[in-house]
Amino acid sequence: DEESCKNDPCCLPNCRLKEGAQCSDKNDGCCRGCQVIAKDEKHVCRKARNTCQNDSYCDGSSGKCPPSVFKENGARCEHTDTDGSLCANGICTGKSRQCQNAFITYGAKRACYKRGGCSIVCEIPGKGCMQINDHYVDGTKCGYGGFCSGGECRHTFSGFVRENWVAILAAVVLVAAACFFYYRMQQHPGFC
């Protein structure tokens, strides 16, 4: 509003930047003395909100603070559930924690792992496993080494085997043949 612009040394009363000003110290996290803070100063304009985010640094191109950058999905984080909390799209979470949030009124304590893949399936005391029409947060671990993405469990070990079974079978046959010939050569030195 115009009242706050009157008290901003970088702005005119009509809320436009003064001549020579690149940004507003009051409104922009990467502004000092009405000038954009240089990238090489490594100025933190926004602290990480949790251990799954990185601090945001001024990039020198604008007075605005760049968006927060998330740590890689699957990175370990500060909370430890029975299922091991990992970073998932900037959130420190695990399946059990998501169950506790999704089924708060039922007192859910943990996820049911034998079913559901990336669908939220939780153990409810006295009722067994219940599923809701929702999915775990993208990046939540699933399967054997996989992660949830759009409600599907992707990049699992079994998926890798399914996609590459021909190459795996060929490698097994080659290794078996090499072992056989090596054994035969050890038993019969003139064999070949």
Domain ranges (residues) in the chain: 1-70, 86-155
Q: Which residues pair with 111 in a beta bridge?
A: 122
Query: How high is the pLDDT of residue 19?
Result: 95
CA 137 – CA 61 distance, rounded (Å): 33
Which CATH class for the 86-155 domain?
alpha beta
Name the token pair of 148. Answer: 């949830």
Question: How many other CB atoms are there within 10 angstroms of residue 192's CB atom?
Answer: 7
Give mean pLDDT, residues 58-82: 84
CA 71 – CA 63 distance, rounded (Å): 24
Q: Lowest mean pLDDT: which of 114-123, 143-152, 161-170?
A: 161-170
State the burial class of residue 5 (Cβ atoms within 10 Å of its Cβ: 0-12, 13-18, 19+).
middle
State the burial class of residue 111 (Cβ atoms within 10 Å of its Cβ: 0-12, 13-18, 19+).
buried
Give mean pLDDT, residues 115-120: 75
Give mean pLDDT, residues 58-62: 95
Mean pLDDT of the chain: 82
Query: How high is the pLDDT of residue 62?
Result: 94
Per-residue pLDDT reduced to its tens digit, 157-173: 655 566 666 776 777 88
Give mean pLDDT, residues 79-85: 60
Q: Specify the 3-state DSSP secondary structure of 173.
A: helix
Per-residue pLDDT reduced to its tens digit, 86-108: 888 888 888 888 888 877 777 88
Level-2 CATH architecture, domain 1-70: Irregular (4.10)
